[in-house]
Amino acid sequence: MKISIFGLGYVGVVSAGCLTSCGHEVVGVDVNEVKVDLMNKGQSPIVEKDLPELLARAKEKALLKATIKVREAVHATDMSLICVGTPSRANGSLNTNYIERVCEQIGSAIKEKEAGHVLVFRSTMLPGTNKEIIIPRLEKASGKIEGEGFHVAFNPEFLREATAVYDFNNPPKTVVGCNNEEAADKVLALYEGLPGPMIKTTLEVAEMVKYVDNNFHALKITFANEVGHICKNLGLDSHAVIDIFLQDTKLNISSYYLKPGFAFGGSCLPKDLRAMTYLAKMLDLETPLLNSLILSNNLQILMTIKKIISFNKRRIGIAGFSFKAGTDDLRESPLVEVIETLIGKGYDLKLYDKNVSLARLVGANKEYINDRIPHISSLMVDSLDDLLSDREVIIIGNKDEEFKRILKDCRDDQIVYDLVRMGECDEGKDNYQGICW
């Protein structure tokens, strides 16, 4: 395939070298003539392992050239990869000036081109940037409509400095956001034969993926550092602790606990988090990340209460209020706090949880339920049908399999507020709302 790459910085040069090694013809484009001259000589303008060899071979095979002329590059290629910078402004907002300028130049070149063109953005951009800024700029400059005269795709990169060539050839995943399946397939064809899943999605989801990845990496580093300081002050080898932590790939290094939903609770997480932050305080250590977790969890509970109140309905039904399905444990269940707040505000509540009902009679939590929260116990009903019969709002509080039929059986005038995402129960219902989706 013939590809033009705009922006001969880190991502652009690595992409050029790796794509030529796959047999693609590449035209690099940059305003910096020094970079252009180096690329035309088959030399790398950046320091990166294995890249000089790739560019030299590309030059020998006549697969690589560079230019400062936008029109020449666009007209000589079928696809453009845009890799210009999107730096932060002083206030933290994204500076899209460079990418907007390039879009205007490419748009003007597309205006004079009869064949269709695919524009693939690799520059990191906030969700909605392509739709709200990039595409309108391109349409204005080209006089054409996206999806007809040209196609826009977003293809985030996951390259680490010093291992970028290896990362390009061994991606954990390849993500393409696009409004057109045929155009998305053309982009994915660039990476044919590479390992990892090939994922087609929307522009906005693809834009968000890169930020989620990088923010999670920052979170992991900060978490490890805070744990490290606590360990050091206790005379422990933090690397020994984390090495053992990392061996748990069932829960610790896995997809568990990474689905958006309601607040955490139960007998372990809140208690142990409080103990850890108290320990740090006793050691005179600042652990802002760990300290923020309870605050953020409490905000999730508060936002849920505010959302329920915003429905302007008085008759509320809660399906499942133990801290997770398959248990009768109400200790530090965040839903108990929601229930108590709603009771205090005078809402008419009905509660259903078969495991809690059983525990109220014979379970280990019998004393806790009957003595500590009798005001909640008295609101419980014996069946899901009873809950559905007259409630204006139904809240799904845990993932008990029985609750899958709630949306199917509820009336159109009943609002379903889902805190756990019960499978695909949100499809085709206007009265369904999820807490984080």
Does position 137 have pLDDT exceeding 60, yes or no? yes
Cβ 76 vs Cβ 2: under 8 Å: yes
**268 annotated active-site:** yes
Q: Which helix (H) or strand (E) holds 175?
A: strand 174-178
Query: What CATH number matches the domain at 298-434, 3.40.1590.10, 3.40.50.720, 1.10.274.10, 1.10.3720.10?
Result: 3.40.50.720
Phi, psi of 371 (to 5 degrees): -100, -40
Among residues 22, 103, 178, 268, which one is catalytic? 268
3-class secondary structure, 416: strand
Cβ 11 vs Cβ 159: under 8 Å: yes
Own/partner pairs, 294-302, CB within 8 angstroms, 24+ separation: 294/270, 297/263, 297/264, 297/270, 297/334, 298/263, 300/262, 300/263, 300/334, 301/263, 301/334, 301/337, 301/338
Cβ 325 vs Cβ 399: under 8 Å: yes
Residue with tokens 């760990």: 290
Does position 365 have pLDDT exceeding 80, yes or no? no
Q: Each residue of 139-192: pLDDT tens digit?
A: 999 999 999 999 999 999 999 999 999 999 999 999 999 999 999 999 999 999
Nearest to 11 by CA among 134, 151, 117, 167: 167
CA angle 1–133–201, rounded 5-degree value = 55
Query: Distance between CA atoms of 162 and 400, rounded to whole angstroms?
Result: 47
Query: Distance between CA atoms of 240 and 355, rounded to whole angstroms?
Result: 40
Cβ 391 vs Cβ 316: under 8 Å: yes
Q: What is the pLDDT of residue 318?
A: 97
- Displacement of CA 106 from its chain's centroid (Å): 30
HSE-up of residue 44 (Cα within 13 Å, Cβ side): 22
Query: Distance between CA atoms of 269 and 276, rounded to whole angstroms?
Result: 11
> Mean pLDDT throughout 14-31?
97
Domain ranges in the chain with CATH number 3.40.50.720: 2-202, 298-434
Q: What is the pLDDT of residue 425?
A: 54
Least confident of 102-116, 271-285, 359-373: 359-373
Task: Order the strands of the 415-418 sheet from edge to edge.
Answer: 348-352, 315-319, 393-396, 415-418, 432-434
Computed over every residue of the chain, the mean pLDDT equals: 93
Distances from the Cα of 119 to the Cα of 14, 28, 132, 188, 207, angstroms? 18, 14, 16, 13, 15
Least confident of 216-225, 227-236, 302-311, 398-407: 398-407
Does position 362 have pLDDT exceeding 80, yes or no? no
Q: What is the pLDDT of residue 376?
A: 83
Query: Distance between CA atoms of 293 and 295, rounded to whole angstroms?
Result: 5
Pull the structure tokens for residue 353: 């949880």
Least confident of 128-132, 256-260, 265-269, 431-435: 265-269
Query: Distance between CA atoms of 287 and 159, rounded to whole angstroms?
Result: 30
3-class secondary structure, 205: helix
Q: Each residue of 374-432: pLDDT tens digit?
A: 888 889 999 999 999 999 999 999 999 999 999 889 999 999 999 999 876 555 578 99
Helices (H), 345-395: 354-361, 366-367, 374-377, 384-390
CATH topology for 2-202 is Rossmann fold (3.40.50)
Q: Each residue of 272-293: pLDDT tens digit?
A: 999 999 999 999 999 999 999 9
